[in-house]
Amino acid sequence: MNGNGVVGILSESCNIWERRAPLTPSHCARLLCGGTTRSGASRIIVQPCTKRIYHDSQYEDIGCEISDDLSECGLILGVKQPKLEMILPDRAYAFFSHTHKAQKENMPLLDKILTERVTLFDYELIVGENGKRLLAFGKYAGRAGMIDFLSGLGKRYLNLGYSTPFLSLGASYTYPTLSAAKAAIIAVGEEIATFGLPSAVTPIVFVFTGSGNVSQGAQEIFNLLPHSYVDPCQLPEVVEMDKKTRLHASRGSFQLYGCVVTCKDIVAPKDTSKSFNKVDYYSHPDNYNPIFHETIAPYASVIVNCMYWEKRFPRLLTTEQFQDLMQQGSPLVGVCDITCDISGSLEFINQTTTIEKPFFRYNPFTDSYHDDMKGIGIICQSVDILPTEFAREATQHFGDVLSQFVGSLSSTNDISSLPPHLRRACISHHGVLTSLYEYIPRMRNSDSLNISQNISYKQFGKKKYATMVSLTGHLFDKFLINEALDVIEAAGGSFHLVRCEVGQSVDAMSYSELEVSADDGDLLNQIIDSLSSLACKRHDSREVRSIFSLKVGKVDANSAVKDHTGNRSAVLILGAGRVCQPAAAFLSSSGTSETTCDVSFVSEVEGLRRIHVIVASVHLSDAQKAVEDIPNAEAAALDVMDKEELYKYISKVEVVISLLPPSFHFVVANACIELKKHLVTASYVSDSISQLDGAAKSAGITILCEMGLDPGIGDELYDFATTIRFPHLPAFALEYIPNRDSLVYGRLYGIIDEASTILRGTLRYEGFSKIMSSLAKIGLFDTETHPLLKEELKPTFQEFLGYLLKFSMKEDLQKPADSVVLALEESQMVERLTMLGHCKEKTEAEKTVKTIKFLGLDEASEIPKSCQSPFDVVCMQMEKRLTYTETEQDMVLLHHEMEIQFPDSRSCKTHQATLLELGKMEKGKMSAAMARTVGIPAAIGALLLLEEKIKTRGVLRPVEPEVYIPALDILGELGIKLIEKVELS
């Protein structure tokens, strides 16, 4: 029955509120259009359901069949696990089964699947090569949980005697769409910004734990309100300053405060001489003391808990700690526990709540729980099925990914023909556990449920010698548990599972404690040595990031990961200028033990693949010079206007980086779209590139632009409500540029969301901006192909400049020289610049003419054939005249100083961000700061695309968290970072 091309969609039965479906009607329509191919299905049968977010008729209208009988379906899809009686024999099923970690409560389901000879695919196990789940609802849990809590917060404040704008909000499910819910949040934000909040309840500080998808979803909603983000270390200062500001005010703050904390903020090493180390913390949490209750919780009004937790870790707040906090006058009003860990990291959260009744009240003074919002205590929300509140959008998001796999899953009966990410997600095939999951019965049969840690080892079996072993790491998602158990059994030993804490996300490690035993003491030692070797694999004698660590009694073993060097990818870099070399060096050293530039961060990137770099240039010698002394890199001669050669090279790689002049990007982008390859540039998004957004999405690729210095690290895009000023810069240093976007200021969306007016300060020599403005007015920065530069016979620089300055108005553009002044005198050009209005003053025109002559734009030599636009001409001349020698040191200085004036005019805040980079001498050559700060961000963009950390398709700029968060982190590891400072006044 498997592989017959007929797909069934289950009616969800696990929860009354479960309205999601695995596929929308539109997804089904596309699959039916694809037929019985790898991208389609011959028939789709949908079980009728009156509470599903999409009506049965919508599926029927596009050609699906509506029937309770799914017996003709070879592949049956659901969201949550179905009832046991819904499992039909000899079929393939796909849903969240929660069986691969041998969870006791789901073993009856697994037994049913094995008995009925079912092939089971688990969505949770469909992961990319970077280890990230491809199918998940995390952000929707965060979004829905945050909206629900804000709605409850309004009711809680009302019960305390305060009317707030939050009172107008409803629960997430009461809005027809996520957009409608966001509009309601924005309206609340406008009211807060206009009228403020009651002074008695401010400042209101939201503390978000964790930085994963759940936290990002919650913050996405929070960011729609007027707010500022505060570093954890600044909480006391900011809260105190806010209190002083509103001391004599009739209204409180006109904004909320947000604070994101991760594990480094909630624990500290017991050994005060050591600093926090994430790998060490996950491996040895007993070496750390909890500090959240002392450093963060005393200032929190709301805790939004999005962080994964296991019993072996310190709690975020114990009941006793929380009771002490409340005795001391804590401002905490409520807890939004999106993780829903019952009696977990927040010990006093002892129950789940429902969508229809999402809150309970906990009174810490009497240690009692109540169903109302009146009286003493805090409100607590712990709903465990939040994503279904946005069932429509969640289904659309989920189906966008799942629909890509349905054709393959429904058309094959041989899992060996499936792509790796689907094969790995197959727990059982025809009722037999696949090799990756053979550990499940071993874990079930280890008597773990009947074992007490206090029982003598000799009670576990016939083995004479035994010891306790703990395993920490990616035991299940990386299948290391198989390797560990194989080591024990292959040596003739045995084991009993005493304790198991399984990571609930791909970023979280799992923890298992085993009683390992053997008949011989030496044999037991041999087993422990073998386990230690497994935990200490090295690549080229260099340890890389831990995904498996071992503890034996009091003995700690070193940690390491598997060798991933067999993973090989390729990147094509077009253009072999100075910017190219740092980009090529960065990429070629990723995933290896060699580093040709300072990329020590690669040891922190899990599963990083080895990258082969191809640098292509019109002149082979330039490309060869760029890759000199760089391993895993090769040079190639390529003219991008030669379509056949361009397509040949692009087809060899996964990602293309174009460091060519912007006028070539359109040609390269079209080739990438046709060949379905990602593209990265350091240039602004031009109108022509912007128009490719739809085509790029259809091709399933990302065109990532503005990954450089400027644009990139140093630009900004704001659309806010008050004013930002740049004080303390000399007048000549101010260059006014319209709103633009950035890497670093993507992060400031959450910090400075009160402003609408931007003044951008760029430190240049006096008059620089006016000269550049004049050149732009002449038309020298135009990027479109110019008629004079189209033909084979090119004009001279002098002739072209004369035409732009309108010395010739000849309509026949084929022969401009006939009517152009042959010698452009300085006085003529100065006069013409002022006459045409390109310069306001004569002195300004004189400086502009000097710049033109310095760049050789008035020379009598012919413009090269490669130049198609005025901008190409200027770039080429600048490269010739402004290039540094190999021993000259350059400097990059970016300084942003932004003063934010709040609506009440009583307070302001100054944000400063400074980047200073100097050229570095490496192997007798100067590595330019400008080259590094442009080339490395572009290379990071390529790396993020290779590692599938960037999911968005189409034309993209680095203002999305999936781009700027990891990019800035990597740049920081390389020492390229902005020093940020915030001052309140």
Q: Give residue 952's pLDDT.
A: 92
Question: Which among 794, 806, 766, 775 is positioned nearest to 878, based on CA atoms?
Answer: 775
Please answer whether residues 614 and 653 qualify as being in contact, where contact means their C-beta atoms are separated by less than 8 angstroms. yes
Q: Where are the alpha helices (DSSP H) in 412-478?
A: 420-423, 439-444
Phi, psi for 32 (deg, rounded to 5):
-65, -35
Report which secondary-structure segment, H or E, holds 880.
helix 870-882
Q: What is the pLDDT of residues 740-752, one digit of tens each?
A: 333 433 333 333 3
Q: Give residue 964's pLDDT.
A: 84
Is the pLDDT reported for residue 732 higher than 50? no
User: What's the average model confidence in pLDDT over 54-82?
Assistant: 95
- CA-CA distance, 70 to 51, in Å (whole number)? 19
Q: Where are the alpha helices (DSSP H) in 535-600?
A: 580-589
Is the pLDDT reported for residue 142 higher than 60? yes
User: What's the average model confidence in pLDDT over 354-361?
Assistant: 95
Could you tell me what percent of the chain has a pLDDT over 70?
Answer: 79
Question: Which among 432, 416, 408 is positioned nearest to 74, based on CA atoms?
Answer: 408
Q: Give residue 626's pLDDT.
A: 87
The segment with the largest mean pLDDT, out of 102-111, 527-536, 598-607, 695-704, is 695-704
Which residue did the predictor score with more confidence, 479 or 657?
657
Lowest mean pLDDT: which of 309-318, 377-386, 754-763?
754-763
Which residue did the predictor score with more confidence, 606 or 242?
242
Q: What is the pLDDT of residues 460-474, one digit of tens each?
A: 344 567 777 777 777
Q: Give residue 654's pLDDT.
A: 92
Is the pLDDT reported for residue 883 higher than 80? no
Lowest mean pLDDT: which of 193-207, 372-386, 532-546, 782-796?
532-546
Is the pLDDT reported for residue 207 higher than 80? yes
- CA-CA distance, 642 to 894, in Å (whole number)? 39
Q: Give residue 760's pLDDT.
A: 34
User: What's the average model confidence in pLDDT over 757-784?
Assistant: 69
Is the pLDDT reported for residue 166 higher than 80? yes
Is the pLDDT reported for residue 759 higher than 70? no
Long-range contact set of residues 32-41: C-beta below 8 Å, sequence gap at least 24? 32/62, 32/63, 32/64, 34/407, 36/5, 36/411, 37/407, 37/411, 38/407, 38/408, 38/411, 39/407, 40/407, 41/5, 41/6, 41/7, 41/406, 41/407, 41/410, 41/411
Q: How confident is the model at residue 661 (pLDDT cuts 50, 70, 90)?
A: confident
Question: Which among 950, 932, 884 is positioned nearest to 713, based on CA atoms?
Answer: 932
User: What's the average model confidence in pLDDT over 294-313?
Assistant: 90
Residue 115's contacts (CB-CB under 8 Å, 6 or more residues apart) are 431
Q: In the numeric block, which tokens belong to residue 102?
A: 């041998």
Question: Which among 393, 417, 944, 352 is positioned nearest to 704, based on CA atoms?
Answer: 944
Length of the chain: 985
Q: Give residue 914's pLDDT.
A: 79
Q: Give residue 551's pLDDT.
A: 53
Is the pLDDT reported for residue 191 higher than 90? yes
Q: In the numeric block, which tokens belong to residue 151?
A: 């709605």
Is the pLDDT reported for residue 558 higher than 80? no
Report which secondary-structure segment, H or E, holds 217.
helix 213-222
Q: Where are the alpha helices (DSSP H) in 894-959?
A: 929-946
Lowest mean pLDDT: which of 433-437, 714-718, 729-733?
729-733
Q: Give residue 607's pLDDT.
A: 39
Q: Give residue 34's pLDDT.
A: 80
SS3 438: coil
- CA-CA distance, 663 to 647, in Å (whole number)? 18
Q: What is the pLDDT of residues 565-585, one digit of tens each?
A: 334 689 999 998 878 988 998
User: What's the average model confidence in pLDDT over 61-69?
Assistant: 96
Which residue did the predictor score with more confidence, 809 or 328?
328
Residue corresponding to tokens 């007048």:
731
Please write down the HEC assignment for all residues of 47-111.
CCCCCCCCCHHHHHHCCCEECCCCCCCCEEEEEECCCHHHCCCCCEEEEECCCCCCCHHHHHHHH
- CA-CA distance, 931 to 933, in Å (whole number)? 6
359-363 and 256-261 beta bridge pairing: unpaired
Q: In the numeric block, which tokens belong to residue 603?
A: 């040891």
Bridge partners for 96 per DSSP: 80
User: What's the average model confidence in pLDDT over 294-303?
Assistant: 95
Please answer whether residues 482 and 438 qualify as being in contact, where contact means their C-beta atoms are separated by less than 8 angstroms. yes
Q: What is the pLDDT of residues 398-452, one digit of tens each?
A: 999 999 999 999 988 888 889 988 998 999 999 999 988 877 887 776 544 333 3
Q: Give residue 734's pLDDT.
A: 29
Question: Which among 450, 485, 341, 444 is positioned nearest to 108, based on CA atoms?
Answer: 444
Q: Output the CA–CA distances (angstroms, integers) from residue 532 to 295, 528, 547, in the order listed.
A: 37, 6, 13
User: What's the average model confidence in pLDDT over 871-897?
Assistant: 77
Number of Cβ atoms within 10 Å of the Cβ of 319: 17
Q: Give residue 153's pLDDT.
A: 97
Q: What DSSP state is assigned to residue 818?
A: G
The mean of the pLDDT values for the chain is: 80
| Report field, pTM of the whole predicted structure over 0.75 | no
Is the pLDDT reported for residue 170 higher than 60? yes
Lowest mean pLDDT: which of 217-226, 600-609, 890-899?
600-609
Q: Give residue 555's pLDDT.
A: 29
Q: Give residue 911's pLDDT.
A: 72
Q: Give residue 966's pLDDT.
A: 85
Could you tell me what percent of the chain has a pLDDT over 90?
Answer: 42
- CA-CA distance, 344 to 640, in Å (whole number)? 58
Please answer whether residues 161 and 200 qualify as being in contact, where contact means their C-beta atoms are separated by less than 8 angstroms. no
Side-chain-side CA neighbours of 158 within 13 Å: the count stands at 14
Is the pLDDT reported for residue 265 higher than 80? yes
Lowest mean pLDDT: which of 375-389, 649-663, 765-779?
765-779
